Amino acid sequence: MDFLTVCKDWFQSGLNWLRVNFFRGVIFLSSLAVFSVKFSELISAKSFLRANVAQGVDQWLPIGVFLFLLYANRQVNKNQNDLKKKVDLYEDILGGYSENSPEENMNTLLSIIGKGFKFNHAHRVSVYKYDEGDNVFYRIGRFHQDSHYMFGGRTLYQRALGVIGKAWQGDNDNYYVEKLPDPDKSLDEYKQALMSNGIALPDTELNGIRFKARSFYCVRTQNPGNSRSNAIILFESKQPEGFRMKKIKTMLESEEGKVLAQMISVRKMPSENRERGL
């Protein structure tokens, strides 16, 4: 092979390489140019951002501090209002403690609790304490907006009777039943629903009840001193789902609930009074 043929082959190979890699080179160089432009823009934007953030901090920091102080002040005021409500609670109860009967003091506390639950005419709350000596429950407090459903009626209940007896003998401290039929539409269906839920109530007792609730929420309380069950707190409603047991539990853990538990524990029962000669 002569020199001219070698040169020709070398030149042809060079053309082939250039033809294949030319477009790759153009794409690479174009990408490099675009990257350089974008990188420059990024650096410029970063510098701009840094400058404006610093300026923004200088402008907005005082406003942010002001808003934080405003929020903190509102929280302090809220805490002060909550504290005032608690003080008012104790003043309402203890203000006439020596003058009023124990039941009147209990009713005052239950009325405050009722306000917290936003009671209306469909709601009622009662407290029944168990008398171990007499083996019965005595109603020691009640609140309803209408005196017709607050006063009167029986104040003594048998241990195994009605929803109170059901709650007292249950395995859990909480018992509730909801969505009972409307007794104004069908008293028979209402009675059957009570029976299906294990609530024993003779016809004479059922017919004598003024406030026939469609939902019951019971909490069995304990004496703070010896942890023995001592009472049933009964929330009633003429609505199918009048309350939420979770909210009732939260109330019992509040200041009002602690005062209620203490008032229940110190209330003397008739059998105790007889033993003391009273």
**C-alpha–C-alpha distance, residues 185 and 78, integer Å:** 46
- In this predicted model, which residue has the larger pLDDT, 251 or 272? 251
Q: Is 2 exposed, middle or buried, given 0-12, 13-18 or 19+ CB atoms closer than 10 A?
A: exposed
Residue type (1 letter), 78: K
* Residues 162 and 199: beta-carbon distance below 8 Å: yes
pLDDT digits (tens, 9 = 90+) for 180-235: 999 999 999 999 999 999 998 888 888 889 999 999 999 999 987 788 899 999 99
Q: Give the tens place of pLDDT for each residue, 233-264.
A: 999 999 999 999 999 999 999 888 999 999 99
Cβ-count burial of 74 within 10 angstroms (0-12 exposed, 13-18 middle, 19+ buried)?
exposed
CA distance 217 to 232: 10
Residues comprising the chain, all counted: 278
Which is more confident, 28 or 81? 81
Its CATH architecture, for the domain 102-275, is 2-Layer Sandwich (3.30)
Q: Over pLDDT 70: what percentage of the chain? A: 64
pLDDT for the residue 192: 94
Residue-range domain boundaries for the chain: 102-275
- Whether pLDDT at 172 is above 80: yes
So what's the pLDDT on residue 167? 93
Backbone conformation region of residue 277, classed left if phi is above 0, alpha if psi is from -120 to 50, else beta:
left
* Amino acid at position 66, single letter: F
Model pTM score: 0.66
Directed axis angle between helix 255-266 and helix 245-252, to 10°? Answer: 70
Q: Over 80: is that where the pLDDT of 44 sits?
A: no
**178 or 85: which leads in pLDDT:** 178
